[in-house]
Amino acid sequence: MADIVKKTEDIKGSSIDTKDAKDVAAKDVKEKETSSSVTHEHEKKKQAFVTRTIWTIVMIAFFFTCLLSGHLALISVVFLLQTLTFKEIISLTAEPARDKKLPFNKLLNWYFLFATIYYLDSESFFNFFQESIYDNKILSLLAIHHKIISYTSYIAGFIFFVATLQKGYYKFQFAQLCMTHTTLILVVFQSHLIIDNILNGLIWFFLPVGLVIVNDIFAYLCGITFGRTQLIAISPKKTVEGFVGAWVCTGLFALLFAFFLSKSSYLICPATNLTTNIFNYPRCDPNPVFISQIYQLPANLVEIFHLETISLKPIYIHALNFATFASLIAPFGGFFASGLKRAFGIKDFGDTIPGHGGITDRLDCQFFMGSFSYLYIQTFVSISHVNIGNLLQLAIMNLSIPQVVQLVKSLLKYLNNSGVVDDNKLTKIFEILDVTIENA
């Protein structure tokens, strides 16, 4: 009996030992799997960081290459980026449209895009290529009747939209139309203002874009270093400390950018033609904001610094204002994009840029910054100026042929009084013009 009890206890002990051994083995396997998972996750993050860094360097190199290539290259890039951004946003609704068998939905989106681009940007090109345009009858008609052609194009798209409405899908189709027009306003219209900034001088493109990039970098660095307080619910990783820290750092970089960029005629001169680049560009009389001016200090500051006046370029003050907007307001363009992504349940707008997501993920703040820059420049920086393109367009669009001839005669008389055209040549030219008018 004692032997039986002993054997039973041995069996139980053996069973417990076996169970313990299995538990230990299972624990070891679990620990190995956890360790492997952590290692894999670490390697994945490391690879993502390397990929992101490499493509950041590529994008910066591409940016400077375009900047040095001149106005036309930058404008072409803006056109490309706005088109890709439009495509990414509209693609969010493309799949439901296909499911609902609405074949013209995509066609209408692209039609409204190109009609809007034609209306907003073609006038700028008419000004720069007026000689070749007004020598061609078709191009001349397009330039003269630009606004009515643009309006007609839009109305044609509007009529086509109404004609393609399908029963049962009205709500969806009108939602698509609203989405398209919202994207046109937020992307295409603001891209048009960025193009105007480029034409006003490359510094007005470089400075806003550079400050948004700097702010984005330092918001990340300050956030991971000091961040404790959540800034906004839609972007949980954004912190108040990162937000404020980036503002300070962006302001310092704004002063550095203003100091170096304002020294370059290539950057501060407005575009006179679209073929300029770093190796071939005209000089200009600089805008007063790039020239040092004397400012009277307030009485309380005079007591502190023992200076009554200070010499300062106004561009420094403007640069700080740009930095403030880039730090405090422009990020809400990114927050808006984050909300849109959450609404559609996606992480990124696309995978165009490895490690960065889509084009929209990188430009969500830039469009907002570009529109502010344009309005700020027109309000506080721009000086009144008239160019040949504007005058020629005004004359052709608003004067009859006899009035144009009279304008030419008046200009010739001015040249005659200035000694550029002598009396004999002036008389002969007048005779030719009179004969031409009679035969017309």
Q: Nearest Cα to 108, choosing from 176, 15, 53, 169?
A: 176
In the DSSP assignment, the letter for residue 288 is G
| Helix, strand counts (H, E) of the chain | 19, 4
Would you place residue 154 in the very low, low, confident or very high pLDDT band (cuts 50, 70, 90)? Answer: very high
pLDDT at 426: 83
**Spatial distance between the Cα atoms of 111 and 159, rounded to a whole number of angstroms:** 12
For residue range 341-357, what is the model confidence (pLDDT) as tens digits?
888 888 888 777 887 77
Rounded to an integer, the average pLDDT of 400-411 is 82
Q: Does the structure show a pLDDT above 80 at 132? A: no
- Give the pLDDT confidence score for residue 259 in this predicted structure: 95
Both tokens of residue 10? Answer: 């041995």
User: What value does the mean pLDDT take over residues 389-403?
Assistant: 71
Is the pLDDT at 35 greater than 70, yes or no?
no
Q: Return phi, psi of residue 237, to 5°.
A: -80, -10
Mean pLDDT, to the nearest integer, of 40-56? Answer: 76
What number of CA atoms fall less than 13 Å from residue 357's CA on the CB side? 16
How much is the pTM? 0.79
Tokens of 291: 């020239």
Residue 4 reports pLDDT greater than 60:
no
The mean-pLDDT minimum among 101-105, 194-198, 257-261 falls in 101-105
Query: Is the predicted pLDDT of residue 325 greater than 60, yes or no?
Result: yes
Per residue, the 3-state secondary structure of 183-197, as one string, reads HHHHHHHHHHHHHHH
Banded pLDDT at 227 (limits 50, 70, 90): confident
φ, ψ for residue 234, nearest 5 deg:
-70, -25
Does residue 212 have a pLDDT over 90?
yes
Spatial distance between the Cα atoms of 410 and 418, rounded to a whole number of angstroms: 12
* Token pair recorded at residue 24: 């230990």
pLDDT at 437: 75
Whether the Cβ atoms of residue 202 and residue 260 lie closer than 8 Å to each other: no
Structure tokens at 52: 């992101």
Angle in degrees, CA 8, 14, 19, rounded to 5? 125
Per-residue pLDDT of 52-85, as tens digits, reads 788 888 888 998 999 999 999 999 999 999 999 9
Q: Is the pLDDT of residue 40 over 70?
A: no
Reported as type and span, the H/E element at residue 296 is: strand 293-296
Please check the confidence at residue 313 and state whether its pLDDT lies above 60.
Answer: yes
Q: What percent of the chain has pLDDT over 90?
A: 37
Least confident piece of the model among 43-47, 154-158, 271-275, 387-391? 387-391
Handedness of CA 90, 94, 100, 104 (dihedral sign): positive
Highest mean pLDDT among 99-108, 294-303, 373-382: 373-382
pLDDT value of position 131? 61
Q: What is the pLDDT of residues 157-199, one digit of tens each?
A: 999 999 999 888 888 889 889 999 999 999 999 999 999 999 9
pLDDT band at 280 (very low <50, low <70, confident <90, very high): confident
- 65 vs 26, 62, 350, 358, 359, CA distance in Å? 58, 5, 25, 21, 18
> Would you state the pLDDT for residue 351?
78
Supply the mean pLDDT for the chain.
83
C-alpha closest to that of 262 among 293, 287, 290, 292: 290
Out of 28-37, 105-114, 128-137, which region has the weakest mean confidence (pLDDT)? 28-37
Asked if the model's pLDDT at residue 21 lies above 60, the reply is no
- Asked if 235 contacts 245 with a C-beta cutoff of 8 angstroms, the reply is no
| C-alpha dist (Å) from residue 28 to 14, 25, 41 | 21, 5, 20
Query: Is residue 79 helix, strand or coil?
Result: helix
What integer pLDDT is reported at residue 96 of this predicted model? 67
Q: Between 83 and 413, where is the model more confident?
A: 83
8 pLDDT higher than 60: no
CA separation for the pair 327, 366 (Å, rounded) = 12
